[in-house]
Amino acid sequence: MKAVLMEGFGGREVLRVGDAPKPAPKENQVLVRVMATSVNRPDLVQREGKYPPPPGESEILGLEVAGIVEEVGPGVSAWQPGDRVMSLVGGGGYAEYATPYANHLMRIPETMSFEEAACVCETYITAFLNVLVLGALKEGETALLHGGGGGVNTAAIQLCRALVPSSRLIVTASPGKVERVKELGADLVINYRESDFAEVIKEYTGKKGVDVILDHIGAKYFSSNMNSLAVKGRLVVIGVTSGITGELNLAMMMVKRQQIIGSVLRARPVAEKGDIVALFAERALPKLADRTVVPIVHQVFPLEQVREAHALMEESGHFGKIVLRVA
């Protein structure tokens, strides 16, 4: 099969399209003919040699696929050849075929293209899990979402607006994305290059703080995040792009009864990811099916232009998702 291969680790120059063995579905897996996949920031980290796939997963990049079931493995009865599906994968998305677990599949709504479906599983499920399940954002509460126009952040804004419409959303963004984030539904957008977000939040909330924070920055934002949390606030950390070590005022955390929650999706056990997918399919997928929530596709590249797609991700020049068309 055609796939994106890596010649060692490093910059995007290590990527090339070549031939790889076509996988076969194992027990409780299906073989999917991949029509589209997407580029996620963890792909870049894996390309650099800093984020290996879980044991037993494909070494090929790619964390989500959209396509057509071609074959079902032993123990699979819920899916049939010809079904249009989208799925999380532990690896292997940048290829013509992938073998997701059957309990990680969701049926693609008739209203959705393969390119749109390729955007859903990694970013929308990540946003749903971390803001609405672990962060437990409720009606009337306020969330701070770091990440401007990135895939997870735009997904989080859309899902919050659809599922907890009375919540208030504060978003940090770069200058060039402020207006688009506002248009997407944020109540307040903070240009993080010009303002201290903790000070802005203090004033905006009347010193109360926010109830939920979604953060992928890590160390650089840690103290400001904790200072921005309200009583009983929840900080959900899903990335550490600025470092892994921060200083914590334990007394303030105890007095304000705050929670710090660490979360990744890829490394979770197969059954646990299946439970998360099922919950997402129940609560959020109907909003995608009726087009209340529409995946934001910034640009679609053919698989052969994977280097250009990675360059766009590196430059943070996108708003929403970067898609690779495989077939």
From 87, 100, 154, select the one nearest 127 (Cα to Cα). 154
From 45, 41, 31, select the one nearest 76 (Cα to Cα). 31
Residues 6+ apart with CB under 8 A from 99: 23, 24, 25, 26, 29, 30, 31, 32, 58, 73, 89, 92
Residues 6+ apart with CB under 8 A from 147: 153, 156, 171, 172, 173, 214, 216
pLDDT of 194: 87
pLDDT of 273: 97
Residues 6+ apart with CB under 8 A from 150: 41, 316, 318
pLDDT along the chain (327 residues), means of 10: 97 98 97 98 96 94 98 97 98 98 98 98 97 98 93 96 98 93 96 92 96 95 96 96 91 96 94 98 98 97 98 93 97
pTM, entire model: 0.94
pLDDT of 148: 84
Cα(236)–Cα(215) distance, rounded to whole angstroms?
A: 6
pLDDT of 222: 95
pLDDT of 317: 85
